[in-house]
Amino acid sequence: MTTVTSTKAAPAPDLSRIDPALANGAAWINGRIVPVGEASIPILDWGFTRSDVTYDVVHVWKNAFFRLDDHLDRFAASMKGLRMSLDLDRAAIAGILEEIVARAGLSASYVAMVCTRGNPAPGLPRHPASCVNRFYAFALPWVWVIPPDVQERGTHVIVAKTPRIPTECVDPTIKNYHWGDLTRALFEASDAGADNAILLDHEGFVTEGPGFNVFAIVDGTVVSPDRGALEGITRRSVLEICTELGIPNRIGPLSRADLDRADEVFFATTAGGVMPVSRVDGRIYTNDRPGPVSVRLKDRYWAKHDEGWHVTPIDYARYARPLGS
Ligand code: PLP
């Protein structure tokens, strides 16, 4: 895979040469590529029974991965943090990700790489060190964490009563499936008639939300929390774009009071980009519409994809079915 200077140069898949069974997504399980709806993992895998798993998600937009190297780096760091390892190297993982996207013929995709603990063979101690870790991957047609029409009007959110799991218990910088607190917050939000939720830590500082980093514009500076959150790769993009545009920015503490007095609030994630917020707990921001700085960052974020910023095109032709088959 090579990096190009523009997504305009990234060729699209020839959909007549795609297996229709993979059109809703493809998964890589144990060396085989299967339709995502048929993919399954062994029931004894501690990834399932103990949430003993790490993962990463990279997106494909206009036929190219975005920041693939950064996602592979974070995946490797997460595995190291959980004392996991695979007999697949970085190039092999990148190759699998490219193949599942190409075989499914996806131009825009949510691509997950997953490492589970596995489980001990019979007779071995029931200890994580006895397990042989396993790799899984899947590529889905594009997923929006917050639907485009909600982003257009501005997302309505609550500050959840459920606090974020303490960092001392589950390290949020290792991407994980410990979603108990985030799931509760999503139900709190829907019960309150809101679209989504922000979680605070036990000291009342903003952390993140179910699947995204949080930003607030406070006294002219774009601030994203320094605690309780994944070090998001979209967050990195946003801060880099702020610097490019001359907008002051920092990662630092963000209190509940800061959130209340902020001029704008927005979220960021791989599966959605920059996502403006217009209400937090009934407080209305920027005339109940996405704020001007949020929209500027959002537009620049997508424009930079077109300019080839951190993109790696997919070689669809390499994995296409033979002509006429
Ligand atoms: N926080 C959580 C809990 C997430 O699950 C995610 C992404 O899925 C993010 C933040 C955003 O991270 P990234 O921008 O790397 O996708």
CATH of domain 15-143+309-319: 3.30.470.10
Are 15-143+309-319 and 148-290 the same fold in CATH?
Answer: no
- Alpha-carbon distance 90 to 99, whole Å? 14
pLDDT band at 10 (very low <50, low <70, confident <90, very high): confident
Tell me the pLDDT tens digit for each residue of 116-167.
Answer: 999 998 999 999 999 999 999 999 999 999 999 999 999 999 999 999 999 9
Beta-bridge partners for 225: 252
Does the pLDDT value for residue 50 go beyond 60? yes
- Please state, in angstroms and as integers, the Cα–Cα distance from residue 135 to each residue in 45, 95, 232, 292, following that order: 11, 13, 22, 42
**Nearest alpha carbon to residue 112 among 87, 140, 133, 131:** 140
pLDDT at 3: 47
Query: How many angstroms is it from 317 CA to the middle of ligand 1?
Result: 31
Contact status, residue 283 vs residue 257, Cβ threshold 8 Å:
no
Six-digit token string for 248: 């002051």
pLDDT at 82: 98
For the chain, give every domain's residue range. Answer: 15-143+309-319, 148-290
Query: How many angstroms is it from 34 CA to the middle of ligand 1?
Result: 26
Tell me the HSE value of 52 on the side-chain side, using a 13 A CA sphere: 18
Could you say which architecture CATH assigns to the domain 148-290?
Answer: Alpha-Beta Barrel (3.20)
* pTM more than 0.85: yes
Does the pLDDT value for residue 222 go beyond 70? yes
pLDDT at 94: 98
DSSP string, 42-86: -TT-HHHHS--EEEEEEEEETTEEESHHHHHHHHHHHHHHTT---
Query: How many angstroms is it from 324 CA to the middle of ligand 1?
Result: 41
pLDDT band at 6 (very low <50, low <70, confident <90, very high): low
Tell me the pLDDT tens digit for each residue of 61-101.
Answer: 999 999 999 999 999 999 999 999 999 999 999 999 999 99
Does the pLDDT value for residue 5 go beyond 60? no
Six-digit token string for 138: 């899947």
Query: How many angstroms is it from 104 CA to the middle of ligand 1?
Result: 24
- Other CB atoms within a 10 A radius of the CB of residue 165 amount to 21
Give the CA diameter of the chain: 64
pLDDT at 1: 54
- Alpha-carbon distance 182 to 163, whole Å? 9
pLDDT band at 2 (very low <50, low <70, confident <90, very high): very low
Tell me the pLDDT tens digit for each residue of 248-272.
Answer: 999 999 999 999 999 999 999 999 9
pLDDT band at 7 (very low <50, low <70, confident <90, very high): low
Tell me the pLDDT tens digit for each residue of 29-44.
Answer: 999 999 999 999 999 9
The protein residue whose alpha carbon is closest to atom 7 in ligand 1 is 211
- Please state, in angstroms and as integers, the Cα–Cα distance from residue 155 to each residue in 1, 119, 206, following that order: 37, 41, 17
Does the pLDDT value for residue 204 go beyond 90? yes
What residue ranges line ligand 1, CB within 6 angstroms?
57, 208, 211-213, 229-230, 232-235, 268-270
Contact status, residue 74 vs residue 82, Cβ threshold 8 Å:
no
Tell me the HSE value of 230 on the side-chain side, using a 13 A CA sphere: 29
